[in-house]
Structure 1
């Protein structure tokens, strides 16, 4: 049984989260500069048993695709080409950045730490993955 890896895609940074082997708990993994993501994923997937990648799907409130989907579509094509044995799924990511910031507030992080965009991206990926796990 493989792990599920979640991606919170951004033009500059990508937040990553992963499940445990039982696919029950989501953990923040890392935030990677977007140009370096495929090298990172190749190394990670070569060393860990990942059978599914969940990519956040940004939507408007009326359920239409957001403007950032233009950048995600080519990323998804390349992802499927590079990792043909890994299932690629999408999951609604509305409000994850706001939820990530609230999580940081609730956990008592200092203001300087809450401004860390890389941490917000990683927490957002974790929230996407936790929400996805409720559907499987």
Structure 2
């Protein structure tokens, strides 16, 4: 006849293993969820640090406040393309000096923008946007009226 104590001992250890396995499974699932949230938080912190560096760089360099990529106070973001500027000037049939007169800059500045050696500031981008809406006749009228 088997020993009741040994049978009881093996049954207790089997039930205990079953209970521990269930508890460990819930802990594993919680650990997986926590690791995923930690990874997401790390990504968010990295993005915020990158944004903070960009803002700090803009704040320390006052010239960067007028950069084309920083349009916080105007509300509209203007893009600049040197080839489109040259194409529009050619479409109007204007010299760089005349086109610069419309925009409010020199002809040399227009050449430098077209060659990609310089970029217009935010205020100049607004002037360029206003001139971009003009046709050839309107541009000539503005030039002759000045």
Tell me the TM-score normalized by structure 1. 0.23
Tell me the TM-score normalized by structure 2. 0.22
Higher strand proportion, which one? 1
